[in-house]
Amino acid sequence: MSKYRVLSSVPLEFRGENPATELLEEAGFAVEVRPPIDRSWSDVVETTDKLADIAAFIAGGEFINAETLAKADDLKIVARNGVGFDRVDLEACTARGILVTNTPGAMSDAVADHALALLLATVRSIVPGDRSVKEGGYDVPIGQDLAAMTLGLVGCGRIGAEVVRRARGFKMRVLVHDPWVEAETIAAMDATPATLDELLAQADAISLHTPLTDDNVRMVNADFLGRMQAGSYLINTARGGLVDEEALIAALKSGHLTGAGLDCQETEPPEGTSLELVRLENVVAMPHSASKTYAARGAMSVAAAQNVIQALQGKGPDNVVNKEVLEKLNLER
């Protein structure tokens, strides 16, 4: 019988192949995959019960906090199957000596592709055009060449860098605002470093590529939107909580913004204000699916499995978010 049990709330099999499970089983662990019926285990009791008696959890969108960790006495690692970890209470995990990891880089290409797809869909009226043809019409509003536009990126990590590469392929001018990235690094991407004021004033479209933190909740507020160019576009493949949705609705209804491409919403699935937002005609909305490709999901699952293996073998995983636990457990990187 295996020493450790590993539970995953996300699928680990793609096109008949199961590399993540194979890695975990080869390491001697028992693997159980219990995907949620919907997007995640939203019920606190359900999540709490499922986290009992397991050593590692490959997590989707569950809320991991002091309440849901109440029975997780054997849990050593929460391996997020993705980049964001805003639903994981790092303080609670750290207090219990639980490592939290993510999978940066595994989904960069997929999300960057998605950001450009949303940009093209909004600028060229792809959804209204499709609807027009199917309903017997045959026209769309006049659009714009991407090559004639300036794209502004707020945040430029691995995904942002791939967006820059693709945007430059479309001959767009690209501005980047990211205080954590050196100006020389941005210039080497063939982009231009910019202050937020410069980016808002000059960009024809702004794409968000920053994690959601306590410091930037609803950073895209009425002031931010008001300083964007009239007629510009907002693209969000990061987190819905970055946007003040009531302010965005106002900007879209007034015509100050021409459109928005939103892969994520503050409430998922959309309810209330989020639902009002995605139903606007000048919004292209997707169900938080930017990473939903075979290549990305396969790579993410393997990266998460590798993090689990390293942790359960007493080594420091490559992608630890709460690094304090490494020192607490005296694990080597």
Helix (H) or strand (E) holding 208: strand 205-208
For 265, residues 6+ apart whose C-beta sits below 8 A from its C-beta are: 240, 245, 274, 277, 278, 285, 288
Active-site residue identified among 13, 25, 246, 268: 268
Active-site residue identified among 173, 209, 218, 288: 288
* Position 213 pLDDT exceeds 60: yes
Residues 101 and 112 in one domain: no
Asked if 268 is an active-site residue, the reply is yes
Q: What is the pLDDT of residues 66-118, one digit of tens each?
A: 999 999 999 999 999 999 899 999 999 999 999 999 999 999 999 999 999 99
Phi, psi of 130 (to 5 degrees): -60, -45
pLDDT > 90 fraction of the chain, expressed in percent and rounded: 89
Lowest mean pLDDT, pick from 38-47, 179-188, 239-248? 38-47
Spatial contact of 191 and 199, defined as CB atoms under 8 Å apart: no
Could you tell me the strand order of the sheet in which 77-80 lies?
30-33, 5-8, 56-59, 77-80, 99-101
In this prediction, residue 271 carries a pLDDT of 95
pLDDT > 70 fraction of the chain, expressed in percent and rounded: 97
Residues 21 and 40 in one domain: yes
Residues 321 and 281 in one domain: no
**Residue for token pair 């849990």:** 75
Residue 126, judged by CB atoms within 10 A of its CB (0-12, 13-18, 19+), counts as middle
Packing angle of the helix pair 108-123, 158-169 (nearest 10 deg):
50
Q: What is the pLDDT of residues 182-200, one digit of tens each?
A: 999 999 999 999 999 999 9
Supply the CATH number for residue 113's domain.
Answer: 3.40.50.720
Residues 125 and 183 in one domain: yes
Residues 272 and 181 in one domain: yes
284/278 Cα distance (integer angstroms):
7
Asked if 256 is an active-site residue, the reply is no
Residues 72 and 127 in one domain: no
pLDDT class of 2 with cuts at 50, 70, 90: low
Residues 94 and 112 in one domain: no
Residues 131 and 100 in one domain: no
Residues 200 and 182 in one domain: yes
Give, rounded to a whole angstrom, the gap between the first and last alpha carbons of the chain.
Answer: 28
Residues 123 and 202 in one domain: yes
* Position 3 pLDDT exceeds 60: yes
Give me the domain span that covers residue 53: 5-106+293-329
Residues 212 and 325 in one domain: no
In this prediction, residue 42 carries a pLDDT of 63
Asked if 288 is an active-site residue, the reply is yes
Q: What is the pLDDT of residues 258-295, one digit of tens each?
A: 999 999 999 999 999 999 999 999 999 999 999 999 99
For 205, residues 6+ apart whose C-beta sits below 8 A from its C-beta are: 119, 122, 123, 149, 150, 151, 152, 232, 233, 234, 235
Average pLDDT, the chain: 94
* Position 38 pLDDT exceeds 70: no
Active-site residue identified among 239, 245, 266, 297: 239
Spatial contact of 94 and 324, defined as CB atoms under 8 Å apart: yes
Residues 79 and 112 in one domain: no
Q: What is the pLDDT of residues 165-178, one digit of tens each?
A: 999 999 999 999 99
In this prediction, residue 1 carries a pLDDT of 41
Specify the number of domains making up the chain.
2
